[in-house]
Structure 1
């Protein structure tokens, strides 16, 4: 490709988008630099008109200088046909037009060539230089022609040269300025459209990335919510059911010997079952929100006993005493001690500490039947801590309580989600200890 070559996009009427479907058909690869049939037809038409014009002007010029007219017409056809190359070599087309200026040939060639040059990607300094050369040549030809026409006339001899120069400059500007300005406008408009298209494509890609990230965040949030609900359900079911199993075993032992005590035990099991149902209903409520909001949704079942405000709002540290009493009622030796001034620690943190104690006591009933336990709760300046320890089993037969191995994992996940620390492990005397610390700044 020549160094004078430059890519010039289609510049037909309508800018390409409004053209007919047939005009947008791409040409075969062997059709050189034309990307569309419309572009080829436009350039071929302009080249034919230019060739006819240059042939006529070439023959006239040949007669004037004493050269055979057919030779001048043939040269004019060749010069006018150069316009067919305007999209590939706009600089060469303009140079041919400048070279033909002394012969007063190539009016259409110069106009279209200057427009194509200004609209192409050729550097502006080259465009300005060639446009100046074309204008200067046009002005000189105009001056010479006016002088030839005025020779032998004495009218206005004093103003002859200024008028000639003024008219020549106007002609040069009129034949050079409009096509160059129009080409520069088309070039700037094309660049603006391309930049807007690139920006739109970039925004579309960004929106796609944002949508993907939003979908990923939503999926992570759903996974975290499922994990949280699974932890809560595990804690509630494991704690309440383990208590019910222990009481059921005791009820079986005293059912025939002490009917009154058996009746009290059955009532206690019923209360525990209702409490478990109430807590499960609270946790599953988030999954039924959309259904409950619908007018056609069935109303939530009414609990068999009044539900306290604390149970509606979720577990709190104020309910630790009741939790310990439940374990004591099941025959388990549990002691609760509180250090520091009691104060609100935030609903999420209090629920976390409560669930840790609940799961730890459940594990004691599962794995150390008959063992005593101590629950220590400490309110500190910047944190709340809890320690649950139990001794070894006293030989009481183990109650068949299945476990999934998720208790310690769930406790650790709860505590670390608040930026706290968790530790669990056996003690030297054969028991087990669970400790957790949750900072209050995350409340």
Structure 2
């Protein structure tokens, strides 16, 4: 009997599985090798490449005061500057541009002349890696401006004709009902006449107004109530004369306190600097605006910010009004000499017989601007927040404690009056804040 071998032995099965796995491993390695090589090549930074995220931080900290990416400012636009100059030349220029200009470098002299011969600040502290990061940021493709979304079509707007048709049908039905009622009334009257039924008309009664006029007591009470009500409203109206609380005029240039004092955190006394040393807080000079807006030609706020009430185009157009007023050409970065005065509309205005000194309240008393002017950091359009009446000022003097800590101006008088009144804290009223001569002279 012929002996047949066992084709399903364990050793043969293991050998077959090993061969099969090696075959798949080799084929997978051959396919994955090019992909891995490509990924490695993509991951490996090219010579002179940098990190655009770090570059943005460095750009904002060192370059943004004089440069923009896509518009000329004090210096040229820097989008794609890495493609315009050799990298080694850029290292030298950023480290010390003045030295390159003095050396007679043609590209440096030309760039210096094209930018109104404004010397660029030297940045020797920036390493070549830092400059590579900045170049990576400036080499990013400019974002495509979002197209305004099409206005959504109101639901049911296409059914205007059907709505008009329904209304017309309702009017027609109402007209038919009126005609039917008139015909029914005539028919009933005709039937009554044919049957000898007499339709009696209602006897005219005494008019309500005549009855009221004959009642002397009601007339007296009514006249008395009308006189009292008239006196009440007349008094209220007269007391509002000269009180302009919530007065909010439209200014020739829209200025958002919400953005400047709120979002950007600009101190009130930076613009209204005279409030610290003068009776008046003063209208800020447009030159104060240009301290910042010389390099801020367009609104770049977040469209989803709580501080934005209008569109980017609206705010940018208002900045252009400022440039027109001072005669600034943002393209050439020069003053044209042609100016247009801005006719600001005054909001807060005390009577001529009232004396009020800003410096006494701001510098001496340490009163915050918001105490009188309200939360201006939340105002998109400035308004008169308080009534600024005599009673309002007196109440403030009665309720506000005088800040003596660190204020030698009040030290001696505070100690004397504190003993006199037997209190530890003195209000402005305790220190003569209710005397007529304090505010009227």
TM range (shorter): under 0.3
Higher-Rg member (1/2): 1
Question: Comparing both structures, which one devotes a greater share of its residues to strand?
Answer: 1
How high is the TM-score relative to the length of structure 2? 0.19
Query: Which of 1 and 2 has higher RCO (CA within 8 Å, sep 6+)?
Result: 2
Question: Comparing both structures, which one devotes a greater share of its residues to helix?
Answer: 1
How high is the TM-score relative to the length of structure 1? 0.19
